[in-house]
Structure 1
Amino acid sequence: MKIAPPLQVLIPAGVILPLALVLPGLCHGGGWELIGAFAEAALHPSLDPVVVDSLLRGLGVTVGVALLSWCLSLLLGLLLGLASSRLIWSTLSGTALPAELLRRFLAIPRSIHELIWGLLLLQVLGLQPAVAVLAIVIPYGALVARVISDQLDALPDQTLKALLSAGSAGPAALLTAMGPPLLPGVVSYGGYRLECALRSATLLGVFGLGGLGNELLLTLQSLEFRELWSGLWLLLAVMLSLESLIRALRQRWGLANRFGQAQPGVGRQGREILLLLGLLLPLMLAISHSLGIEPAALLHWQPLPPLHSQHWQEALALPWGRLIGNTLLLTVLSACLAVGGAPLLLLLVAPWRLAQPLLRLLWALGRLWPPPLTALLLLFVFKPGIWTAALALGFHNLGILGRLLLEGAESCSGAAEDALHGQGVGARVALLYGRFSALARSYLAYGAYRSDVILRETVVVGLMAGTGLGTQLQESLSSFAWDQIALLLVAYAALTLVGEDLSDRARRRLL
């Protein structure tokens, strides 16, 4: 017997049962009044001109860092992606060995979360605006390189072979045959990376690298919930505007969404994309100047203290089994809550059309609300630990996966769902076996990829909720124990690389 694909998307939601049993024991009794005040403040954000002016300046820094890091990471990723393509090396030199070596090397920077990069660069470069930009560019550039090289190697090469057989030079044949089919995927993926850059810039601000994230953290710690919600509503407006712009451009240019479904549009690209690229250069220069980024300041590194054998012995004596086990358990719980929670919530509200806008708003707040701030808010009423961290991380990724599922459901044909409705089937069952049937495997495949991302994000909530490798990383950074930090980075890199391999295998099997 095999489980039907629509039901497979609900299996991860089974983690809600043990959560319901454990959650009452995690409550410590105090803080519910603060949660109530936090919820009430959402309807009455502060409109004080001084507060709004401070938030707008922080928002400007966050958006500037996101745009600059996004642009640089795309440029870096495009160059590295072409350099790590097996197809390009095989065409130009007859061997793909350099591509394989570069791919393995790029796995290291992308396996380390941008927050860790930010904290490390902060130690060696000091507090300067370029730290936040570099912290995003390094892992994002490696991620973009992987996607571009994979897309390029997966394209049909019949046209390329024909041009080479006709006597065309290798570079010219590659540009002519592979450039046009590669461009839509690069542009579509670049739009998604811009949304991620905005979230990452906000997250880095929470940990002291400036911008709106720092303002949000200070207002939460001082319990100024009205000021906090002023910043959240501003950030939500920017995020939704950005998502709408990307969606409109994707439809205008006829690009595919993350389910591989082509968007309705006329496929206009060419001149408009070139015009957009031409406008980016002066915009990036203006942002760099306004942020006060000085490239020469990056050459002045603070030396790290020497490491002694005694320190390495102390680092090896850490409880590695418990730390790694808690990190893996946190990943599984968060991934199950996010992957299974999105379709379950959609099914629950299916009969009530008016409830769907509220669900969209909840998911939008989950996407923009940084997980460490969610963990701090949950600590008002829950004890620190794995479940509290899983709730914080699961809520954030639930917003991302929920939006993805809605995009896919709206792009799918509703014929099967309408046919089930016509036969008297209820709204929930019609949605489950109508639309979810077509989306199940691709949604689970993206959920496997998101699980790999969640593994990297465990460091974010671990710093706040006191669990996993993130907690030890915070202690090691506070005591400048670089031997421990080095081993923690190796552990994180190894875990994320193994998780990346497992998620790739799961996606190939599903798709």
Structure 2
Amino acid sequence: MKRPVVSAPLLCLLPALALVPVLIVVGQGLHGGGFETWWRFLQGAVQPSKDPLLLKSLWEGLQVTLATALVGWGLSTLIGLLLGVFSSDVLWESAKIPTWPAAAIRSLLALPRAIHELLWGLLLLQVLGLHPWVAVAAITIPYSALVARVFRDQIDSIDRRRLTAVLQSGASAPAAFVSSIGPPLQPILLSYGGYRLECALRSATLLGVFGLGGIGTELQLTLQSLRFAEFWSGLWLLILLSVLLEQGLTFWRHRQQTNPSQWNGVSVLTMTVLAVLVGGHWLQQLLPTSGTTLQLMLPPLPDISALQLAATELPWLRMIEQTMRLTLLAAGIAIALPPLCLLIFPGRIAKQVFLGLWTLQRVLPPPLTLLMLLLANLPSLALAALALGLQNAGVMGRLLVEGLDQQSPGTMKAIEVTAAGPRQAWLLGCLSPQSRSYLAYGAYRTDVILRETLVVGLVGGTGLGWMLIESLSSFHWAAVLLIIACFALLTLAGESISDGLRQRWLRTPGESAST
């Protein structure tokens, strides 16, 4: 007897059950004194400040954020591509060398990839002090490892028959590798490179929220001081920049698909080098101190006795339990909210409204969303999960709409002919064909959310993030080291689980049943 199997479209909606406990706790934590503050906050959206001095300061902060993102993106793409090539088994096999160096490089890249860019920023801030290039380094280090992993996976999955044929023709190993692996890798470089640029802009904004400069710092200060009109002036500027970047990258991908010969790997690499040079010069012009020498201030390394004492003092079970609960609740909201909204309101106008809301959710860093919610609510793990889930729901919603727009409308029209309702037609004709790829990306997004629990934990007073900031503020380096190690192990374990789930959902139904 076969066990019942839940269909993929239903699995896209079932995580919405996470909203039930979250909304119950958030509803119980509401207090009337914050509603007036919320009303003034909404008024600021339609009546932003137009003060010339403020706009000048916001414009300078926006330029710092964009320059930081460009340099971090360019450096991480170049470094990640090189590391991805050298960590691939194909490179060493083509040169008839044992593949242990590739395995060693992959192992070394696991740690920087597992640590969130915010944590890198906080650590580098302690070591190097407040310097503009700290934010650049905080983006470059984890992004390089992430890019390397993606490129390495793509290189090792490419059909090697062409490489073997070129090698047998007498070509050298480097020439054969570049000529046979380069062309299939170009579309990945184009699409994934654009995606990482969007992520770099969000990361640069987030680092600014925690005091590393840019428009994020301006948004944090205005929101904490309840100057909502000034806050919305900066937020509208950031939204405009994000929309322009998204539209530019969409146009770039479309041109690459329609005219693939116009764009190649060399042109993209040239653009990344220009991004580093232009962004670095731009950052130096905006912040003249970016050209000064960095001051290295290494903290004292804890000894074994200090580590043992910290290990017994820290509440490990409570911290890990809160972090995992925060991850699952936020992931449930992020995965289920976009398809649930489109199912309840399946019209075109509603879709455009949701796209606008999801853009706002993507642009606004989770700590600022959490601070907004705290205006009329008591702090809780559920509130932190809601803030983190809403930001990631914006990312998932955009991905879902892009997938729906690319598929043929024939299936939905055929279902509509059978007199099915609009919601049933959307569920079976639109969501069903996209459900497996959507769930695969949802598994990856859950891994990202696990890393980002650090971000809201610093503000919401929960999980490993809260204990980390407490240890950093008291210079308890033994506890800092142990918490970072624990967080890295959790994220690497989550990465392994999400990889397995992604591979499962990306299989065809027939393959899944036969394995």
TM-score normalised by structure 2 residue count: 0.94
The share of aligned pairs that are identical, in percent, is 48
Is 1:286 aligned to residue 319 of structure 2?
no
AA of the residue aligned to 2:75? L
Give structure 2 stretches of 5+ with no counterpart. Answer: 507-515
Structure 2 residue aligned with 1:261:
none
Residues 67 and 280, structure 2, Cα contact 8 Å, conserved in 1: no
Structure 2 residue aligned with 1:41:
44
Structure 2 residue aligned with 1:160:
163
Deviations 1:294-317 (A, max 9, x none): 57723x311313535553344112
Residues 80 and 147, structure 2, Cα contact 8 Å, conserved in 1: yes
Q: How does 1:357-506 map to 2 (within 5 A)?
A: 357-506=352-501
Within 2, Cα distance between the matches of 1:387 and 1:431?
31
Distance 1:145 1:278, change over 3 A: closer
Deviations 1:205-243 (A, max 9, x none): 000000000000000011000110010100000001000
RMSD: 1.7
Is 1:221 aligned to residue 216 of structure 2?
no
Distance 1:445 1:412, change over 3 A: same
Residues 68 and 279, structure 2, Cα contact 8 Å, conserved in 1: no
Partner-residue secondary structure (3-state), 1:297: coil
Structure 1 residue aligned with 2:512:
none
**Alpha-carbon shift at residue 27 of structure 1 (Å):** 2.0
Deviations 1:351-389 (A, max 9, x none): x33222221111001000010111111112222121011
Select the residue among 325, 332, 338 that pairs with 1:336: 332
Give structure 1 stretches of 5+ with no counterpart. Answer: 255-263
The more displaced of 4-13 and 113-122 is 4-13
**Alpha-carbon shift at residue 427 of structure 1 (Å):** 1.4
Within 2, Cα distance between the matches of 1:70 and 1:463?
25
Q: Which has the higher contact order (CA 8 A, sep 6+)?
A: 2
Q: How does 1:81-480 map to 2 (within 5 A)?
A: 81-254=84-257, 268-270=262-264, 273=268, 276=271, 279-280=274-275, 282-290=277-285, 291-292=287-288, 297-298=293-294, 300-308=295-303, 311-316=306-311, 317-350=313-346, 352-480=347-475
Within 1, Cα distance between the matches of 2:191 and 2:234?
29
Within 1, Cα distance between the matches of 2:375 and 2:392?
21
Within 2, Cα distance between the matches of 1:217 and 1:275?
35
**Alpha-carbon shift at residue 279 of structure 1 (Å):** 4.3
Within 2, Cα distance between the matches of 1:103 and 1:272?
28
AA of the residue aligned to 1:349? F
Partner-residue secondary structure (3-state), 1:27: coil
The more displaced of 175-184 and 377-386 is 377-386
Distance 1:494 1:18, change over 3 A: same
Within 2, Cα distance between the matches of 1:446 and 1:38?
34
AA of the residue aligned to 1:459? L
Distance 1:280 1:20, change over 3 A: closer
Within 2, Cα distance between the matches of 1:6 and 1:342?
13
Deviations 1:55-87 (A, max 9, x none): 001001000100011001101101111110111
Distance 1:281 1:482, change over 3 A: closer
Within 1, Cα distance between the matches of 2:350 and 2:381?
31
Distance 1:49 1:114, change over 3 A: same
Distance 1:150 1:308, change over 3 A: closer
Residues 71 and 275, structure 2, Cα contact 8 Å, conserved in 1: no
Distance 1:295 1:149, change over 3 A: farther
Within 2, Cα distance between the matches of 1:439 and 1:424?
22
Residues 342 and 405, structure 1, Cα contact 8 Å, conserved in 2: yes
Partner-residue secondary structure (3-state), 2:33: coil
Within 2, Cα distance between the matches of 1:275 and 1:484?
43
AA of the residue aligned to 1:74? T
Within 2, Cα distance between the matches of 1:249 and 1:32?
43
